[in-house]
Structure 1
Amino acid sequence: MKRKSYITLSLVLLLGAGSVLSGCSSKEAGATGEQVITVGTQNDYPPFAFADENNELTGYDVEVVKAVDEKLDGYTFEFTAVPWDSMFLALESNKIQAIADQVAKTPERQGKYLFTDESYFAAETVIAVKSGRKDIQTIKDLEGKKIGALAGDSYTLLLEEYNKKAAKPIDLKYSESGNPSEILQDVQNGRIDAYVNDPIMIDAVLEKNDLDVEIVGQPLVNDDMGIVLKKGEQGEELKALIDPILEELKQDGTLAELSKKWTGGEYIPE
């Protein structure tokens, strides 16, 4: 088992950069004989991926990848913060080679990108509204109302798909900042009616910012999250190596332990 340190970056706008900056130089990585894989994740999506008080990326998704890396020879994973709306473009342009950012395995994404067969988190999708509001409990109750959205995430895709058949479309208000905490502040302040996302992230943001917002109704759907890789020979090789390690981490209790540490519960797929 290899030992290593992870040096994490502050936010890098990858698409505007000529090359990917990483926590150590390619020359240093080359001295280890291992190939560097740059993993993109957000810096504002607690408790899964966020920048801590030292501006280092941490959270459940980051620690899962680090646990995989500890068992994987021949490669070194380094992390860089990428805005959600740039994440897949960065992967397609090879500025990053993997994503660990609570990415649900939707059919559309699986057609474009390479996912690990093994999932590392079982997520729910819920509705958050201003505390005390009673008129919203289900996805149908969102029809005609203003709902915060992040372009391209699985929660927004769910609502966009619903709109194709809705009697009255949901009025999706796409966030320019791409920051879930700002969307939840808009819910509290009445600028939008609701937000649809993961309950664990929502609860973490509400607690941190002391927002007067609550989760209502029953979960809309359940999703399994996987590590996303760039299609191609390298991605296929990594997938073949990562899948058995994720299975091992599931069977030996590592994933459950990390899930309890970061989320308070064991949200591990069957």
Structure 2
Amino acid sequence: MKRNAYVFATACLVGLAGALAGCSSEETANADGEQVIRVGTQNDYPPFAFADDANQLTGYDVDMMKAVDEQLDGYTFEYVAVPWDSMFLALESNKIQAIADQVAKTPERQEKYLFTDESYFAAETVIAVKEGREDIQTIEDLEGKAVGALAGDSYTLLLEEYNETAAEPIELKYSESGNPSEILQDVQNGRVDAYVNDPIMMNAVLEKNDLGVEIVGQPLVNDDMGIVLKDEEKGKELKALIDPILKQLKEDGTLSELSEKWTGGDYIPE
């Protein structure tokens, strides 16, 4: 790919119906004859994927995909904003053909979807609480308390799995908006006791919105993130092309540079 193509699909931001109706499912080619691959990502998950002041999708995950696209002959990427709760359905229905949205490689997801072998980011999972609160430091401290959650993400899955054997289940409060910043505002306002997610994203939101919320305790788990593709012939073809490129971008330092640019640290797994 010698040039990138971008699309900010605002129709994809208004829930499931908009996400699926606003994005064509037919495969297309650009003027250079390159096949267009629609890459789904969120528009409200800084610094990984978000809309900038010009309403363009940007962030680490988007820049990572642009770097892959520069080396990918015969294909061009378009970036489509899709709400998290519609992301996998959009992939299954071919409204998008790839996901780059900090998706952890969980066993459950790997049974259903195709992930790149090469991971492009190593993320932590931490707890955030209202500033000054001292009774929550570990996942055990969350038992019996209200915790903000997004349905289907790896952080929520961790808590759901914990509840299966917990002495007192964590009360998961699922967000209707699917917006992490609103959940962090709920933490500050006392609507929920805590939120579990990635510290880099949460710190970016806390700084931008000047919220009285802080990260506490030690990381609960570490996850490797991969590009998600549909588990079919086309997805396998793309995976075979993308994996060597990701490996090259690790070895030449490109991903480390992007990680430093967007997160202030090098979080690239070996």
Taking structure 1 as the reference length, what is the TM-score of the superposition? 0.95
Aligned 8 A contact 1:8 1:80 in 2: yes
Distance in 1 between residues matched to 2:182 and 2:89, nearest whole Å = 23
- What 5-or-longer segments of structure 2 have no aligned partner? none
1:230-241 matches, within 5 Å, as: 230-241=230-241
Q: Structure 1 pair 224/237, CA: closer, same or farther in 2 (3 Å)? A: same
Please tell me the residue identity of whatever aligns with 2:169: P
Distance in 2 between residues matched to 1:14 and 1:97, nearest whole Å = 19
Per-residue deviation, 1:20: 1.5
| Mapped pair 1:77 → 2:80 | no
- What residue in structure 2 maps to residue 20 of structure 1? 23
Distance in 2 between residues matched to 1:74 and 1:83, nearest whole Å = 28
- What 5-or-longer segments of structure 1 have no aligned partner? none
Aligned 8 A contact 1:146 1:170 in 2: yes
Aligned residue pairs, count: 267
Per-residue deviation, 1:232: 0.6
Distance in 2 between residues matched to 1:181 and 1:164, nearest whole Å = 28
Please tell me the residue identity of whatever aligns with 2:227: I
1:36-185 matches, within 5 Å, as: 36-185=36-185
- What residue in structure 2 maps to residue 265 of structure 1? 265
Please tell me the residue identity of whatever aligns with 1:66: K
Aligned 8 A contact 1:131 1:213 in 2: yes
Deviations 1:129-151 (A, max 9, x none): 00000000000000000000000
Per-residue deviation, 1:4: 3.4
Distance in 1 between residues matched to 2:77 and 2:147, nearest whole Å = 36
Taking structure 2 as the reference length, what is the TM-score of the superposition? 0.95
Deviations 1:21-46 (A, max 9, x none): 59xx977x442111111010000000
Distance in 1 between residues matched to 2:192 and 2:167, nearest whole Å = 20
1:203-222 matches, within 5 Å, as: 203-222=203-222
Please tell me the residue identity of whatever aligns with 2:6: Y
Distance in 2 between residues matched to 1:211 and 1:111, nearest whole Å = 38
Distance in 2 between residues matched to 1:165 and 1:226, nearest whole Å = 29
Per-residue deviation, 1:5: 4.5
Deviations 1:219-258 (A, max 9, x none): 0000000000011110000000000000000000000000
State the percentage of identical aligned residues.
79
Distance in 1 between residues matched to 2:178 and 2:15, nearest whole Å = 15
Distance in 2 between residues matched to 1:26 and 1:123, nearest whole Å = 32
Please tell me the residue identity of whatever aligns with 1:71: Q
Distance in 2 between residues matched to 1:4 and 1:79, nearest whole Å = 10
Per-residue deviation, 1:11: 5.2
SS of the residue 1:80 aligns to = strand
Aligned 8 A contact 2:4 2:78 in 1: no
Q: CA RMSD in A?
A: 1.6
